[in-house]
Amino acid sequence: MPLEGTMHVYETQKESGLKLVQDVPEVHTGIDNFQMTQSGDTLLAGAHPILYKIFAHIGDVVSRAPSSVIRLPLSNGLVDHEKITELFYDHGDLISGSTVAQIHSGQLLIGSVIDKLVVCDLYGKVVGRKGGKI
């Protein structure tokens, strides 16, 4: 749960629903959507570092919300919490309320439900921004 700073990982069970398999401590962000990298060894997530600002942004698109992309490496199918890194952070000026991220052709694609798509090289340089003004 974002407010307690811990991410809980569950496995689906055929008969009994969900089984807790891992608690990932000290995430301290509002993770939105996960995407597996092509290599299958890393999860990427769009995230909301300041939760109350994303709620304000949803209610009024003029109110900007910070965006973040979190890299969660996997080891034996579990998140290696000691190697979690933040690949991208923006105060909401470039992209507001990031919800998803993926690496494609050596670039980091960052999406938002309300705002635009941002394309960066893997070192944080902005390559492009797609979409019209809101």
CB 5 within 8 A of CB 26: yes
Place of tokens 């938002």: 112
Q: Which pLDDT score, from 0 to 100, does residue 132 have?
A: 47
Q: How far apart are the first and last CA of the chain?
A: 31
| pLDDT band at 42; cut points 50, 70, 90 | very high
Q: Which of 4, 87, 20 is nearest to 47 (CA)?
A: 87
Q: Which residue has the higher pLDDT, 23 or 129?
A: 23
For the stretch 71-85, pLDDT in tens is 999 999 899 999 999
Residues shown for the chain? 134
Q: Which pLDDT score, from 0 to 100, does residue 134 have?
A: 34
The string of DSSP letters for 91-121 reads -SSS-SSEEEEEEETTEEEEEESSS-EEEEE
Mean pLDDT value across residues 49-56:
91
Q: 42: which 2 tokens?
A: 């890393």
Q: Which pLDDT score, from 0 to 100, does residue 36 have?
A: 94
**pTM of the full predicted structure?**
0.83
Is residue 86 over pLDDT 70? yes
For the stretch 31-40, pLDDT in tens is 999 999 999 9
